Amino acid sequence: MKKDAIEKFILEFDTFSLYKQQEKISNVPNFIGVGAGRCGTTSIYRYLCEHPEVYMSPVKEINYFGFRDKETNPYGITFSEYSNFFMGAENEKIIGEISPAYLTLPTSSNQMKAYIPNVKIAITLRDPISRMISQYKHHISKHKINNINNYIQSGVKAYNEKTASSYRFNWFHPVKNLTQSLYFDGVKRILDNFPSQNIVIVKFDDLKNDSNAVMKHLCDFLEIDYRDTAVSKSNASSKPDNVDIKIEENVLNQLLKIYKGDLKKTEDMCGIELSSWLKKYE
């Protein structure tokens, strides 16, 4: 931002902050979508943004907990500053945000429990390999690796060398993408911190095949009226013409070795069928 823009922003923020204090406004979310990424969270966000009983933050992916909070990031924001994202809420029953990073970041669920212990949480999951491919395509302008097999092997190497944690905040490194398809630890942290009645799990397949049924289930979970409106596919990945996303058999087998056990553990923990996702690759 240039100096003039910064000063204009400061003046507007001062007016905004004073209004918040005078009106004693302190809105905080009672609903958060935690991801995983590339699992339909943008479609859910847009549906809820249009719902009259819901106020969603104007910014999708605030990424406060575990990333932009002051405890994690010395240049981050306080919880009070985070609440500014919900300043526009009035009489809506649900105040929410969606940040897929929360499922991946190890401190997010503990922080959410500390600040908003009664929050309702939606977890979206997808076939781990198709999710990884989708993110590969979505971020290709950033990582600039046009061969998906080289990309995956780079991620597998870092994963096997146990250096994945070094890339926790490097959203474009292959190992970060690879580990975002490992669901067990992230889902377990949510289940350990919040009661089961506060958690709903949405499968990407269901959202893709029958979005109306999924949205009705989500509305029931949030205790709001279901609105039968079109749910369009959002934020779809695309790839340049010179990129081949065909995964070689030996590379695919490396992924299956990594994902099979994790997906089975997640399936057993959640009591929902997930293992069939990988059968089509065998």
Structure tokens at 237: 């990945």
pTM of the model: 0.94
Q: How many helices (H) and strands (E) does the chain have?
A: 13, 5
Please list, in sequence order, all residues whose beta carbon lies within 8 angstroms of the beta carbon of residue 148, skipping any fewer than 6 positions away: 133, 136, 243, 244, 245, 246, 247
Using CA atoms in the order 236, 124, 85, 179, what is the torsion angle rounded to 10 degrees? -80
Question: Which percentage of the chain shows pLDDT scores above 90?
Answer: 85
**Per-residue confidence band for 239, with pLDDT thresholds at 50, 70 and 90:** low
Q: How far apart are CA 127 and CA 63, in angstroms?
A: 23
Four-point Cα dihedral 14, 17, 21, 22, nearest 10: 60
Q: How far apart are CA 113 and CA 192, in angstroms?
A: 10
For residues 118 and 197, the answer to whether their CB atoms sit within 8 Å is no
* Whether 185 contacts 108, CB under 8 Å: no
Q: What is the mean pLDDT of residues 213-241?
A: 86
| Predicted confidence band of residue 57 (pLDDT cuts 50, 70, 90) | very high
Amino acid residing at 227: R
The arithmetic mean of pLDDT across residues 136-151, rounded, is: 94
Instruction: List the chain domain ranges.
Output: 26-279
| pLDDT averaged over every residue in the chain | 94
Q: Which residue has the higher pLDDT, 228 or 256?
A: 256
Residue 39 scores a pLDDT above 90: yes
More confident residue, 179 or 239: 179
The fold for domain 26-279 equals Rossmann fold (3.40.50)
Q: Letter for the amino acid at 205?
A: D
* Separation between Cα atoms, residue 172 and residue 157, nearest integer Å: 15
Q: What is the dihedral of CA 113, 115, 118, 123, to 10 degrees?
A: -60
Instruction: For the beta carbon of residue 107, count every other beta carbon within 10 angstroms.
Output: 16
